[in-house]
Amino acid sequence: MTRVGFLLWVALLAFGLPEVIAGTGAGWLTRPDVYILGIPLYALHFLLLCHFALKTKRTSWPALFLLGVVFGLYETWITKVVWAGYPGSDGFSMGSFGPWFGVHETVGLILFYHAVTSFLLPLAVLTRLFPAYAAAFPAPDWIFGTTRWAVARRVVLALVWGLISGHNMPDPRLYLISWMPMLALLVFGYMLLKNTPAARPTLGRFGLWFAGLWLAIIYIGSWFVLRTEGIPPAPALAITLGLYFVSALLIWWQPKRVPDARVTATATARMPFIWLLIVFFIGLVTSIGISAGIGIFSSVAVLPFVGMVALGAGLFLWLAVWRGLIRRG
């Protein structure tokens, strides 16, 4: 049961960080679609990609970033957001690459939001809290370290994610009932699990097949049910498949990395929770300000969406091209 409890905790972490921060998981406790689609989608992607990274020893930063990009490509086949945007909603938009691929949806969403928020951030939390992950993956000091660069990243990302969360949940009551249960369950779940030996970073054979089959059902079912009007013509589908192919080649090109059992944490286990509380309060202030009709909050809250595009492009050029393709390491 301890192993099941750990996997449930990871599932909440993998879903809660990207979806509650983004506001798309607003009111998640009482939404059936979250338990049918949302939590399985994020948890299975996260666990399978971690398993793949460990088994192939592709755990360098470029490889992990590219696996996060692969994660983000689900926004094409399942939600169709990358192809069709957010029709009938207030979703942010910045134009498109040709007729099918939105600039913000492709560069900001796939290259930054999902690569970092859906994959690298939950992985950083796990590597800070559970030694089995810290030995297997690079240390989480890129955000939870004590250097000036780590502090700068924490500040910038707290502002980006806090403003996005408050902007997308401008009703403070909805904001609170979305964030507070997640924070409470993550904290109390960790307190129960932190001294158990069940936090293994790989799936067993049964778990691997079960996760793969479940994810395949989600993809196939979503393709035929969700937003079928957003399915583009064959050229766009071919380009999307090409993105997978290019990502796979770049991941394969990365040198293998041997896990280091000597990895030691340079910051306390409390830091991820303290940092999440800071994100929470920034978002809460933003939500209250927008709901009160204070114009500056609405204006400032749009800036992170523009910044996501710049950050996504920068990360791709630095990690995928420079470190992943040219320097290979």
pLDDT tens, 179-219?
Answer: 999 999 999 999 999 887 767 777 888 889 999 999 999 99
CA distance 66 to 85: 23
Cβ atoms of 186 and 16 closer than 8 Å: yes
Please determine, for residue 259, whether its predicted confidence score (pLDDT) is greater than 80: no
CA distance 109 to 116: 10
203: tokens are: 């799936």
State the pLDDT at residue 285: 97
DSSP string over 288-303: HHHHTT-HHHHHHHHH
Q: Specify the pTM.
A: 0.94
Q: Average pLDDT, whole number, for the chain?
A: 91
Cβ atoms of 68 and 76 closer than 8 Å: no
Cβ atoms of 16 and 187 closer than 8 Å: no
CA 235 to chain centre: 28
CB atoms within 10 A of CB 49: 18
Cβ atoms of 11 and 43 closer than 8 Å: yes
Cβ atoms of 324 and 254 closer than 8 Å: yes
CA distance 248 to 61: 15
Cβ atoms of 194 and 269 closer than 8 Å: yes
Amino acid sitting at position 310:
A
CA distance 278 to 104: 26
Please determine, for residue 306, whether its predicted confidence score (pLDDT) is greater than 60: yes
CA distance 121 to 70: 15
From the number of C-beta atoms within 10 Å of its C-beta (0-12, 13-18, 19+), residue 189 rates as middle
67: tokens are: 């696996």
Residue 96: strand pairing partners: 102
Residue with tokens 């202030």: 285
Angle at 107 between CA 249 and CA 47, to 5 degrees: 55
Q: Which stretches of the chain are assigned E, i.e. beta strand?
A: 96-97, 101-102
Cβ atoms of 2 and 198 closer than 8 Å: yes
With a pLDDT cut of 70, the percent of the chain lying above it is 94
105: tokens are: 């949806």
> Among 35-39, 234-238, 258-262, which stretch is predicted with the lowest mean pLDDT?
258-262
pLDDT tens, 98-146?
Answer: 888 999 999 999 999 999 999 999 999 998 998 778 878 887 889 998 8
When pLDDT is cut at 50, 70 and 90, the band that residue 263 belongs to is low
Please determine, for residue 150, whether its predicted confidence score (pLDDT) is greater than 70: yes
Please determine, for residue 163, whether its predicted confidence score (pLDDT) is greater than 60: yes
HSE-up of residue 161 (Cα within 13 Å, Cβ side) = 27
For the chain, the maximum distance between any two Cα atoms, rounded to a whole number of angstroms, is 54
